[in-house]
Amino acid sequence: MRTLDYGTLAFWAFAATAVVPAFLVLVTRDVVRMAFWLLFSFAGFAGLYFLLGADFLALTQVMVYIGGILILILFGVMLTRRRDGGDSGIARDGAPRGSGLVVQGVTAAGLLGLLAAAVHTRTPWAVREAGEPAYTAAGLGDLLLTDFILPFEVASVVLLVALVGAAYIVRREPEEGE
Amino acid sequence: MEWISAGRFAELSHGFPGDLVAIAPEVALATAACAVLLLDLGLGGTRGRGGGVVAALAWVAAVVALHRVLGAVWPGAPLAAQLALDLGGVLVFGLMLAGAPNGWVGLVALVGTLYALELVLARSGDPAASLFRAMLVTDRFATFFKVVLLLGTAATILASSVYRPMEDRRVGEFHSVLLLATMGMFLMVGATDAVMVYMSIELVSIASFVLVAWPRGDRSAAEASLKYIVYSAVASGVMVYGLSLFYGMTGSTNLADLTRFTTRGQPEAGVVAIASFLVLAGFGYKMAMVPFHFWAPDVYQGAPTPVTAYLSVTSKAAGVAIFARFVHAFTGGPSGSLVDWTQVVAVLAALTMTLGNLAALWQGNLKRMLAYSSVAHVGYVLMGVAAWDAPQGAGLNAAAFYLLVYFLMNMGAFAVVLLVADQVGSEEVETYRGLGSRAPFTALAMSVFLIALIGLPPTAGFVGKFQLFAAAIDHVNGVGRHDLVWLAVVAGVNTAISVYYYMRVVKNMWLEHGEEGVREPAMGPPILGHLTVLMLLVPVLWLGVFFGRVAQAARSLSLY
Amino acid sequence: MGATLAKSLFVLLALLHLVPVLVYLERKLSAWIQDRRGPNRVGPWGVLQPVADAVKLLFKEEVIPAGADRGLYRWAPALAFVPPMLAFAAIPFGNRIGTESLVVSDIPVGVLFVLTIGSLSVYGIAFGGWASNNKWALLGGVRSSAQMVSYEVALGLALVSVLMVSGNVGMQEIVRRQTGSFSLAGVPLPAWNVFQQPVAFVVFMAAAFAENNRLPFDLPECETELVAGYHTEYSSMRFALFFMGEYVAMITMSGLAVTLFLGGWHLDPFTDPDSGTWAQGAISVLVFGAKTLAVLLVYIWVRWTLPRFRYDQLMGLGWKGLVPLALANVAATALIWGPEAGTMP
C-alpha cells in the first residue's frame, strides 16, 4: 500500500473532476447544462496538466477550451432554437432493416472491448524521473519552430480552412439586387 | 531569456531550405488556394472589369501548365502530340470559361493543380528523402499517390464547373478549400510522424466537412456534413488514443521509432496490438473500411455530386496510403508481434468487400449504391495491402495501380450521375430506364464505367483487379504457404455478387423503356460535361489494353 | 505554507473590503460629476451607505423566477464572483519581505494565469442570463459572452507586445524590468511599459473596460435596452455576488494594468527593489494600492462621462479597430525591439 501523498490525492481529485462531469455531459438532456458540466471536465484536465508539470499547456487548455470554445458553444446554443427537423431523405437505406444496426452494434462493442483491454493491460510506459517543475513555454516555442515546424505551419492552414468554411456556411445570401 | 541569434537559427533550421524545395507541390497548392480566394474576393466572382483579364491569363496559364505536364510525363513527345494536347486544352479551358460567369475561378484552381502535377512528375525520379526532421517523406509510393490525387482534383474541378447548383454561388471558397484538402492528402500520404499524421488528417477532414456542406440551405448536405463530423470526431479520438499509447511507450512520435519498438519482439505485445488497432481504426474511417464505413453512404448521397466523386476517390486513396504505410511500420521486421497483420488486414478486406457489396444490392439511389460500391472497392484494394510483402512488393503496387484505375472509372460514373441528374433531376436507378435510346453516348459511357467497376475486360478495371488477385494468390507467408488464396476466392465471389447491381443499371438503360409520364430529358449535351466523361472514358478503355507503361510506373513503389 | 496562507488571507480581505469603498467612491464621484450630492444620510458624508446596502441585501427575500433552471440559477453568481478573486493570486501586490515574494503564487506563466482565470467569470454571466428564463437576461448573457470573447483577443494581443518587451511572462519579473528609467527624446522617464508601449496600453485599457462590462461597453446590462441585463431576475445576496464580482474583476484588472504597464509596486524613489525589509515591503504594498486605486478612479471617471456604444459599434471597434491595431503594434514591436528584446532596462 502506497502512502497517500498530496500529489496522488491531487491526481485523483483532478481525475474525478475530469471524468465525472464528462459522464454527466453524456446523461444530461439540457444542452446548456451539458456545457456547464463540460466546463468542469475541461478544468479537471487542466489540473492534470498542471500536475504533470505542463503549466503552459494547462493554461492554454483553460484559455482555449474554457475561455474560447465552450463559450462559443454556449453562445451558439443560446441563439439557436430547437426546430423539428424533417427527414432529409438521405438516410433511407434500402438494405434490410436492422442489418446496419447489427454491424454498428458489433463495431461499438468491439471498440469498447478494445478500450477496456487497453485500460486493463499493463502498459509498459517509458517512464522518466520527474525533475524540478520547469518553465515549459520556452522549450515548447523552441520545438514548434524547429522539430515540429511543419505541423505547426499546417495547423495554420487547418485554421484557414475552418475559417473560410465557417464564413462561407454562415454567410447570408445577398438579397436580390444588392 | 535569450532570443535565438541568427547563428543559432541557422543551426536549428539546418536543411530546411532544401526541404522547402522538396515540398514545392504542396506549396504550389496552398499558393493556388490563396490566389483563388483572393482573386474571387477581389473580383466578386464576376467577369467584370478585372475578371476578363484574369480569365484570359488563366486560360493561357492553364494551357501552358498542361503543356508542361506533358513534357514531364513524356519528354520529347512528338510535336503533333504536343499540338493536339494544346488545342484540347484551349478548347476545354475555353468551355470552362464560357460555361459560367465565374468559370475562371475553377480555371485558376486548375492551373494550380496542373502546376503541382508538373512539379510532382518532374521530381518523381528523385531519391526518397526524409524532410523536416522526419515529419514527412517523399518516396516513390507517395509520389504515385500524389499523381492520383492531383488527377482526381483536376477531374473534380472540371466536374464542378458543369455542376449547375454550383453556378450562381461564390465558387472561390469552394476551390480554395478543395485545393487545401488535396494539400492535406499530400501530407497524409507522406506523413511519418504521429503529429504530422494527425494534423494532415484533420486538415483533410475539416476541408471535407466544408465541401460536403457546400450547398447552403440544402438539408441533406447539412445532414451529411454533420454526420461526417460526428463520425470523424469519434474516429480521430480513437486514433489519437492509440497514438498516445505509442507515445507513452516509446517517448517519441516518430514512425521509425515506432517501428523499432513494435518489431523488437517484446513481452508487451498485447498493448502494442491494441494501440495498433486503435490507430488503424482512424485510417480505416478515412477510407471507409468496414466496420468504419457507416458515414460513407449518407455522406456520399447527401454531398454535392462533384464532392462525392472527389471524396470517394482521393480521400480513399490517401487513407489507403497512410494505412499501408502504418501496416508496413507495424510489421516491417522480424515479426515478434502478437498479431499476424497479413491475416488481420485480409479479414478486414474480406469483411469490407462483402458488406459493401451486399448492402449495395438493395439501393435504389444510384449515388448511395455507388457509395456502397466504393466501400466494396476499398476491400479489393486492401487485398493488395494485405499482400504487401508479396514478391517484388506486388501487393502495394497492385493496390496503387488499382486506385488509379478506380479513380478513372468511379469518377466517370459519378460524372454521368451528375449529367443525368442535371437533366432529369433525379439520382434514382429507375430514372435510367431507356437512357440508351435517349442519350446513347452517356449511356454507353456509363455502361463502360460500370463494367470496369465489375472488373470485366476489356477495361482497366479488369487489369487492376487481375493484378490484385495475382498478388493475393502469389503471396506466401513465413513458412512458405500461400495464405491469401482464401481472400482471392472471397473477392471472386464478391465480384460475382456485384455483377447484379451494376448490371441492373445497365439493363435499365438499354433494355427497358422510359415509363410514360416521365419527362423525356433532353440530353442536349452540355459539351464540357460530355468531354469530361470522354476524358475519363478513353483511359478506362486504353488502360484495359495498353496498361504496360502505367503499370510499370506503379511497380517498385518502394516505401521509404 | 503558512506564508502563502497569510498572503491569501491578506489579498482576500483587501479585495472584499475594497469593494464597499469603491462603491461609495463611485457614488460620490458620479454625484460630483453630475452636480449632485450623492449618499449623505447614513453616517458622516454618507460613508456608511455601503454598510446599509449590504444589510439590506442580506435580509431581502430571494426570488427565483418560475421556469428558471434552478441549479444553474443558484450556481451562476458564484461562477461570476470566484474567478476574479482567484486571478488576483498571480498579481504581485508588493516587492518582498525577507525572501517572501509578495504575491500569492509567483507562477512562471502569471500573465496567462490572470487572463485565463479572469475570463472565466463570463460563465457566471452567461449561465445566469440563461437560467433566469427571461429574454432580457438571456440577451444580456449572450451579449456578454460575445463581447468578452471578442475583446479577449485584443487584450491578449496587447499583452503580447508587452511580453516581448519584457522578455518574460512571470509577473514579478515584469515589474522588475520596469524599475529602471529611460529617456524619451531627452525627457527622463521611468521605464514603465506604458511609456514603451503606449499603443498596447490604450488597447489594453479599452479591452479591459469591455471585459469588465463597464461603460462605455456595458451592453450586457444596458438599462435602456435590457432592463438590467443578465441580473434582471436576481435579488438579495445572489445579486450582491454578481455586483461584487464585477467590482472585484475591476480591481483585478486594475492590478494587472498597474503590474504590466505602470511599474507595479515600484515608484522611484520610495521603493527599493533590492531591499527586503518590512518597511520597504509595506511601502511597496502601499504604492501598489495607490496606483491601483488611481486606475480604478479612471474607470469611474470614464463611466460617468462617456455615453454607451451601440452593440454593432462595439463589435466593430473590437474586431476592426483594436485587434488590427494590436496586431500592428506586435509587428512594430518585433521590428523595433526584436533583436535586443528582453535586454531593456
How far is the alpha carbon of A158 from chain C, nearest alpha carbon, in Å? 19
Q: Which three cell numbers stand for residue B187?
A: 501530407
pTM, to two decimals: 0.89
The 8-class DSSP code of residue B34 comes to: H
Asked if the Cβ–Cβ distance from A88 to B220 is below 8 Å, we say yes
How far is the alpha carbon of C202 from chain B, nearest alpha carbon, in Å? 27
Using CB atoms, which residue from C112, C115, C146 is nearest to A75? C146
Asked if the Cβ–Cβ distance from A79 to C142 is below 8 Å, we say yes
How far is the alpha carbon of A137 from chain B, nearest alpha carbon, in Å? 11
Asked if the Cβ–Cβ distance from B1 to C338 is below 8 Å, we say no
Q: pLDDT band for position A15 (50/70/90)?
A: very high
Q: How far is CA B248 from CA A54, A127, A162, B46, in A?
A: 16, 8, 30, 54
Mean pLDDT by 10 residues, chain C (345 residues): 83 86 85 82 80 81 76 82 87 82 79 84 81 78 80 87 80 82 76 83 88 71 64 75 85 90 81 79 88 89 80 83 90 74 42
Which of C130 and B540 is assigned the larger pLDDT?
Answer: B540
Query: DSSP states of C12-24 as a string?
Result: HHHHHHHHHHHHH
SS3 state of residue C39: coil
B18, with CB counted inside 10 A (0-12, 13-18, 19+), is exposed
* Residues in B 180-209 with any Cβ partner in A closer than 8 A: 180-181, 183-184, 187, 193, 195-196, 199-200, 202-203, 206-207, 209
Asked if the Cβ–Cβ distance from A39 to C123 is below 8 Å, we say yes
Q: pLDDT band for position B41 (50/70/90)?
A: confident
pLDDT value at residue C221: 63
Q: How far apart are CA B339 and CA B265, in angstroms?
A: 11
Asked if the Cβ–Cβ distance from A164 to B210 is below 8 Å, we say yes
The candidate with the shortest Cα–Cα distance to C135, out of C218, C223, C232, is C232
C180 is a domain residue: yes
pLDDT value at residue A178: 37
Which positions ≥6 away from C265 have C-beta within 8 Å?
C92, C93, C94, C95, C102, C175, C271, C284, C285, C287, C288
- Given a cut of 50, whether residue B9 has pLDDT beyond it is yes
Which of C174 and B448 is assigned the larger pLDDT?
Answer: B448
Q: What does the buried/exposed string (b/e) look like for B179-196 if buried means 16 or more CB atoms within 10 Å of the residue's CB? A: bbbbbbbbbbbbbbbbbb
The candidate with the shortest Cα–Cα distance to B31, out of B107, B150, B89, B115, is B115
Asked if the Cβ–Cβ distance from A71 to C123 is below 8 Å, we say yes
Q: Would you call A177 an interface residue with chain B, using a CB distance cutoff of 8 Å?
A: no
Q: Which three cell numbers stand for residue C147?
A: 463581447
- Given a cut of 50, whether residue A129 has pLDDT beyond it is yes
pLDDT value at residue B265: 61
Searching chain A, which residue's CA lies closest to the CA of residue B196?
A151
Chains that contact A by 3+ CB pairs under 8 Å?
B, C
B284, with CB counted inside 10 A (0-12, 13-18, 19+), is buried
Q: How far apart are CA C95 and CA C263, in angstroms?
A: 12
Residue given cell 531627452 in the structure block: C186
Q: Would you call C342 an interface residue with chain B, using a CB distance cutoff of 8 Å?
A: yes
- Given a cut of 50, whether residue A5 has pLDDT beyond it is yes
Among A15-19, A64-68, B209-213, C334-338, the minimum mean pLDDT is found in C334-338
Q: Would you call A64 an interface residue with chain C, using a CB distance cutoff of 8 Å?
A: no
> Which residues on chain B are in Cβ contact (under 8 Å) with C338?
3
Strands C100-101 and C96-97: antiparallel
> Which residues on chain B are in Cβ contact (under 8 Å) with A117?
270, 274
pLDDT value at residue B1: 37
Which of B97 and B413 is assigned the larger pLDDT?
Answer: B413
> Which residues on chain B are in Cβ contact (under 8 Å) with C341?
3
- Given a cut of 70, whether residue B7 has pLDDT beyond it is no
In this prediction the ipTM stands at: 0.89
Q: How far apart are CA B170 and CA C115, in angstroms?
A: 39
**Three-state secondary structure readout of chain A:** CCCCCHHHHHHHHHHHHHHHHHHHHHHCCCHHHHHHHHHHHHHHHHHHHHHCCCHHHHHHHHHHHHHHHHHHHHHHHHHCCCCCCCCCCCCCCCCCCCHHHHHHHHHHHHHHHHHHHHHHCCCCCCCCCCCCCCCCHHHHHHHHHCCCHHHHHHHHHHHHHHHHHHHHHHCCCCCCCC
Q: What is the dihedral of CA B241, B244, B250, B254, to 10 degrees?
A: 100
Is residue C241 within 8 Å of residue C81, measured between CB atoms? yes
Using CB atoms, which residue from B249, B290, B291 is nearest to A126? B249
C115 is a domain residue: yes
Averaged over B332-351, what is the pLDDT? 75
pLDDT value at residue C338: 61
SS3 state of residue C171: helix
Q: How far apart are CA C204 and CA C162, in angstroms?
A: 10
- Given a cut of 60, whether residue A2 has pLDDT beyond it is no
Using CB atoms, which residue from B210, B223, B291 is nearest to A103? B291
Is residue B559 within 8 Å of residue B141, measured between CB atoms? yes
Question: Residue C202: which domain range?
Answer: 60-339
Asked if the Cβ–Cβ distance from B3 to C338 is below 8 Å, we say yes
pLDDT value at residue C345: 36
Q: What's the mean per-residue pLDDT of chain B?
A: 85
Q: How far apart are CA B359 and CA B348, in angstroms?
A: 16
How far is the alpha carbon of B1 from chain C, nearest alpha carbon, in Å? 6
A109, with CB counted inside 10 A (0-12, 13-18, 19+), is exposed
C94 is a domain residue: yes
pLDDT value at residue B415: 92
Is residue A54 within 8 Å of residue A71, measured between CB atoms? no
Searching chain A, which residue's CA lies closest to the CA of residue C118?
A67
C51 is a domain residue: no
pLDDT value at residue B549: 77
Searching chain B, which residue's CA lies closest to the CA of residue A96?
B362
**What is the C-alpha radius of gyration for chain C, rounded to an integer number of angstroms?**
21
Using CB atoms, which residue from C71, C107, C119 is nearest to A55? C107
Q: Cα-flanking dihedrals φ and ψ of residue B267, to 5°?
A: -65, -20
C293 is a domain residue: yes
Which positions ≥6 away from B493 have C-beta within 8 Å?
none
pLDDT value at residue B44: 64
Is residue C50 within 8 Å of residue C23, measured between CB atoms? yes
Averaged over B375-391, what is the pLDDT? 88
Q: Would you call C338 an interface residue with chain B, using a CB distance cutoff of 8 Å?
A: yes
How far is the alpha carbon of B298 from chain A, nearest alpha carbon, in Å? 6
Which of B337 and C290 is assigned the larger pLDDT?
Answer: C290
Q: How far apart are CA C99 and CA B223, in angstroms?
A: 62
- Given a cut of 70, whether residue A176 has pLDDT beyond it is no
Q: pLDDT band for position B287 (50/70/90)?
A: confident
Asked if the Cβ–Cβ distance from A71 to C149 is below 8 Å, we say yes
Q: How far apart are CA C56 and CA C49, in angstroms?
A: 11
SS3 state of residue C101: strand
C44 is a domain residue: no
Mutation target among C86, C117, C123 for the A interface, most CBs of A within 10 A: C123
How far is the alpha carbon of B203 from chain A, nearest alpha carbon, in Å? 5
Asked if the Cβ–Cβ distance from A93 to B368 is below 8 Å, we say yes
Q: Which three cell numbers stand for residue B471?
A: 498478388
Is residue B464 within 8 Å of residue B540, measured between CB atoms? no
Q: In this predicted model, what pLDDT tens digit does every residue of B407-435 receive, in sequence order?
A: 999 999 999 999 888 887 788 888 888 88
Q: pLDDT band for position A84 (50/70/90)?
A: low
Asked if the Cβ–Cβ distance from B135 to A151 is below 8 Å, we say yes
Q: How many domains does chain C have?
A: 1
Q: Would you call B248 an interface residue with chain A, using a CB distance cutoff of 8 Å?
A: yes
Among B181-185, B527-531, C57-61, the minimum mean pLDDT is found in C57-61
Residue given cell 512458405 in the structure block: B480
C38 is a domain residue: no
How far is the alpha carbon of C109 from chain A, nearest alpha carbon, in Å? 7
Q: pLDDT band for position A130 (50/70/90)?
A: low
Chains that contact B by 3+ CB pairs under 8 Å?
A, C
Among A35-44, B6-15, B442-451, the minimum mean pLDDT is found in B6-15
How far is the alpha carbon of A30 from chain B, nearest alpha carbon, in Å? 19
C198 is a domain residue: yes
CB pairs under 8 A between B and C: 9
Among B61-75, B263-277, C53-67, the minimum mean pLDDT is found in B263-277
Using CB atoms, which residue from C72, C109, C115 is nearest to A33? C72
- Given a cut of 60, whether residue B3 has pLDDT beyond it is no
Question: Position C99: which residue type?
Answer: T
Q: Cα-flanking dihedrals φ and ψ of residue B346, to 5°?
A: -65, -45
> Which residues on chain A are in Cβ contact (under 8 Å) with C131?
32
Q: In this predicted model, what pLDDT tens digit does every residue of B118-148 receive, in sequence order?
A: 999 988 888 888 888 888 988 888 999 999 9
> Which residues on chain C are in Cβ contact (under 8 Å) with A63?
112, 115-116, 119
- Residues linked to residue C182 through DSSP beta bridges, in sequence order: C189
Backbone CA torsion sign across B292, B298, B299, B300: positive
The 8-class DSSP code of residue C290 comes to: H
CB-facing half-sphere around the CA of C145: CA atoms within 13 A: 28
- Residues linked to residue B131 through DSSP beta bridges, in sequence order: B136
How far is the alpha carbon of C108 from chain A, nearest alpha carbon, in Å? 6
The 8-class DSSP code of residue C232 comes to: T
Which of A96 and B533 is assigned the larger pLDDT?
Answer: B533
